[in-house]
Amino acid sequence: MIFILLIVLLVFIVYLNKNFYLKKNNAKYPNGPLVLPIIGSLYRVSFKTPHLSFKNLSQQYGKIFSIKMGCVETIVINDISILQKTFRDKPTIFQQRFWLPSFYNVGEYRDIVFSNGPYWREIKSILKNSLTKTKSRSMEDLFNSECSKAEQYIMKKIKENNNIVDMMKTTKRLLLNIMVKFLFNISFEYDDGSLSKEIFDFVKSYNLIFEYLAKQPGDFIPLLRPFDTHDKIAKEYSNLLKFFTPFIDETLKNIDKENPKCFLEYLLIEIERDPNSMIKPESIPHICFSIIVAGSDTTGTTLEWMILYLSNYPNIQEKLHCEINSSHHPTLKEKKNYPFLRAVINETLRISPPAPFALPHICSEDTIVSFNGHDYFFPKYTQIIPNLYGANRNENEFDDPNTFNPDRHPSSTASHVSYSSGPRSCPGENMADDILFVVSTRLYKYFKFERTTNQLYDEYGVLTKTLTPKDYLSKVTFRS
């Protein structure tokens, strides 16, 4: 009985402090849907299409709204300007990741994605230095080499399957090959018969992990934690680490400090420079996994969406082909000479961002976010979700926002947001942009992509680990 009274008293004190802060600063807590016991406002969220639910909620409650996800207080930001201003003006308050219990089973918060504090700052600095030094070598040659292998595979499938090719599977393999080559200086063949069992096991465990992560009710409702499947997540993640172990061991054994051959060698050299580094050898597999996920999955998904949209709108595909069909192959130094390709990439990222909510942040202290004369109170420990999908489809920012229209970008004053802003922005964003440029200039120069049906391909997609298109096949023709 005394324990219950203490809990009630504590809740009452927190309530009084919150209201005192609001009155003192003339701020308001963002509006949101009705909160019910135990489940909070989760009844307003579709677990199959949460990005659409959040977009609908933003239309009802505004550019900033609150939603209680079970026991987790959450504020959702649905506007490009507010997102950029919030993370830019208050970087230290919003730079930490929000930790859900199930996330611990993927990297133990020791990777670049979910780590926080001094450890995260050190790993980000080392990654940026390693990326810079790696790019001093010919990354473009690596991209082109892997693209050539993918093109040979596509040509083979064109002949074998009467021009029908699974481009979703092909782009996944292409991006995975690029990232594995970048990390470890190894590559996998495209031919199904030559593909090792290890890579199949990796992909299987990789997909299962994110399937399990999406089904952890205890992350939000503690009463349901006995039904969580953290053991399954841990098992599949352990399988993934086994995939990396031989490559890491081989790199450690043959590292060439005078002439590094891959990103992992640069990374290990950077770590060794500081004898007091917080990054220990056992963290390396976690870092490698996060780089693989960030580099292959998000960029590969963007390529899948590009092929889908250009198949749905062949006139746009032909306009793009005309721009890049020069006598020589476009190079990264010539990016500015291909404005329509830039517009197509930007429009793909705007209308179908691979990570529609980016990754959640946590508000590390009570603060006020001001916008257009309104002050909003963000309490300490609140989960902050950047709703990139909703922001990019804001009717006030874009005309006809649900229509794929690359022509909007050269003249549009509104920018899109594809990655989170502020200190937690993706350190590999420039590399991802380079990959998209090189792969796109080759694919759309050499191949024509068409639908295998008269109906337009579905443009809403499905949300799993990323916002991906529903499965589709492509009719692919080589442009002689």
Binding positions for heme: 426
The partner residues of 475 in beta bridges, in order of sequence, read 164, 450
Q: How many CB atoms lie within 10 A of CB 6?
A: 10
Cite the annotated binding site by residue number. Answer: 426
Q: How far is C-alpha 253 from the geometric centre of its chain's CA atoms? A: 33
- Per the CB < 8 A criterion, the answer to whether 251 and 264 are in contact is yes
Strand partners, 467: 463
Distance, in Å, from the CA atom of 68 to the CA atom of 88, rounded to the nearest integer, reads: 25
Task: Please list the residues that pair with 451 across neighbouring strands.
Answer: 474
Side-chain half-sphere exposure of 203, counting CA atoms within 13 A: 15
**Consecutive H or E run containing 76:** strand 72-77
| Separation CA 353–CA 342 (nearest Å) | 15
The structure tokens 């050499």 sit at: 446
What distance in Å separates the CA atoms of residue 480 and residue 264, rounded to the nearest whole number? 39
DSSP β-ladder status, 361-362 and 367-371: unpaired
- Pick from 403, 407, 302, 319: which is nearest to 355 by CA? 302
Token readout for 39 is 């489940």
